[in-house]
Amino acid sequence: MSSESCQSLLNSIESRDCVVGVLGLGYVGLPLIDAFTNAGFKCFGFDVDSSKVDALQAGRSYIKHIDDSKIQAWLTKELFDASADMSRLSEPDVLLICVPTPLNDARDPDLKYVVDTCEKIAEVIRPGQLVVLESTTYPTTTRDVMVPILEKKGLKAGEDFFVAYSPEREDPGNPDFSAAGIPKVVGAIDDDSLAITCKLYESAVAGTVPVSSCEVAEAAKVLENIYRAVNIALVNELKVLFDEMDIDVWEVINAAKTKPFGFHAFYPGPGLGGHCIPIDPFYLSWLARKQGMTARFIELAGEVNRAMPGYVVSRTAEFLNEMEKPIRGSKICMLGVAYKKDVDDPRESPSFELMELLLKLGADLTYSDPHVPSLPSMRHFDLPAMDSQVLTAEFLASQDAVLIATDHTDFDYDTIVQHAPLIVDTRNATAGVTQNREKIRKT
């Protein structure tokens, strides 16, 4: 049956009769839908959050770089539907799983969202469907966790339905790389699953990179993020060292990156943010422990990067002390709570830990972020409700310190430096400011 089903699904992809289901309508799922609808496929979005479904059905987006006009275009062309009803998962021909894969409190992989999603699919899966996991995870997840759940009702993977792993590669806020413009690594449990999945993605994105197994594809994604985490840890550690030596780490990096070979610039910051880099390396270190090994580079990088928020707060205390002010009672405004420049994505942002640490020390804390108007509730942080402040001259002058945690383009750094008495810059955002530089402290 597999060969007949394989050819049938390949034909439906070729003719664009294939309906693509996307499970998880967030920062990965919506760009995927955009890529597939642009290629002429009808997409069916699923999410347990009915408010997201309602917003999309009304033509409203909740993600900055997927604007309302895109959603409305999907609806106008009748290429999109959305539902919170998981009994309808049998309707699409393809199911792409884009759900979170966080860490638990012990910093071990938490696959509850993947497991729950697969259990819902297993209830209604039908012969001939393709199920692809896109969520970042550790090697063996697709074969050892996902497939047994999908087979619970008696259908067999590779015989009755198809299974593959193709990790998401999304860079929110980067206009140079849309979902459609990034090649997809694809690994599958058998040749037919691989052929179908490659055909599917090649119809909507820049191309595919087929590999020999799901495990290779899973490991490739983790490697991509470990590479960044380790190199960011290196420059974060150098930042601490160079601070002690009164050397500007940003100037050092800018000098080093003039070398046309053998060097790629990474930059320090107040900690790691986003769903991938603060989390994914620990999947592999956890897997190493299960094999009786220690992933020492990964563990060390994690230690260095996790220490950055505490280091920034300590340095801020030192800078305030120079002005004969303690942190307790000082008015401190945090600039930026999104995890990266010019996005509205707060996932794993180091700003939340910075805020929590400052509040524990008694700071009179506010924040400003043009992309995050109200402080969202975060799973691991207990913060009071706050709204973003407008950076007027009067407000800035009333603060004891302004802490730049995210270097949004919308911030007027000349005005900030002109009016605030102290600027703690963790992102080198004030590099272009020429006046009042004596107020700036980099860390």
pLDDT at 273: 77
Q: Is 214 annotated in the active site? A: no
Confidence band, pLDDT 50/70/90 cuts, at residue 376: confident
Question: 276 and 324 in one domain?
Answer: no
Question: 139 and 203 in one domain?
Answer: yes
Domain boundary among 286, 306, 326: 306
pLDDT at 181: 83
How far apart are alpha carbons 310 and 323 in whole angstroms? 20
pLDDT reading at 1 higher than 60 = no
Domain boundary among 280, 306, 332: 306
pLDDT reading at 409 higher than 90 = yes
Question: 201 and 261 in one domain?
Answer: no
* Domain count across the chain: 3
Q: Mean of the pLDDT values across residues 405-422?
A: 97
pLDDT at 425: 98
Q: Mean of the pLDDT values across residues 286-312?
A: 89
pLDDT reading at 281 higher than 80 = no
Question: 79 and 22 in one domain?
Answer: yes
Cβ 330 vs Cβ 401: under 8 Å: yes
Question: 321 and 258 in one domain?
Answer: no
Confidence band, pLDDT 50/70/90 cuts, at residue 285: confident
Question: 192 and 246 in one domain?
Answer: no
With residues binned 3-state (H G I as helix, E B as strand, rest as coil), the percentages for the chain, rounded to 5, are 40, 15, 45
**Phi/psi-derived region of residue 246, left when phi > 0, alpha when psi is between -120 and 50, beta in every other case:** left
Domain that holds residue 9: 2-212
Question: 422 and 363 in one domain?
Answer: yes
Question: 231 and 105 in one domain?
Answer: no
pLDDT at 275: 64
Domain boundary among 212, 247, 274: 212
Average pLDDT, the chain: 93
CATH code, domain carrying 404 = 3.40.50.720
pLDDT reading at 188 higher than 80 = yes
Confidence band, pLDDT 50/70/90 cuts, at residue 158: very high
- Catalytic entry in 18, 43, 118, 276: 276
Question: 283 and 332 in one domain?
Answer: no
Lowest mean pLDDT segment, chosen from 129-143, 174-188, 358-372: 174-188
pLDDT at 395: 98
Question: 180 and 81 in one domain?
Answer: yes
Instruction: Note the pLDDT tens digit of each residue in 231-268.
Output: 999 999 999 999 999 999 999 999 999 999 999 999 99
Q: Mean of the pLDDT values across residues 84-101?
A: 96
Closest CA to 357 of 320, 389, 309: 309
Question: 240 and 252 in one domain?
Answer: yes
How far apart are alpha carbons 196 and 118 in whole angstroms? 20
pLDDT at 274: 66
How far apart are alpha carbons 412 and 79 in whole angstroms? 41
Q: Mean of the pLDDT values across residues 219-233?
A: 93
Confidence band, pLDDT 50/70/90 cuts, at residue 26: very high
Question: 199 and 220 in one domain?
Answer: no
Q: Mean of the pLDDT values across residues 14-41?
A: 96
Residue with more model confidence, 152 or 295: 152
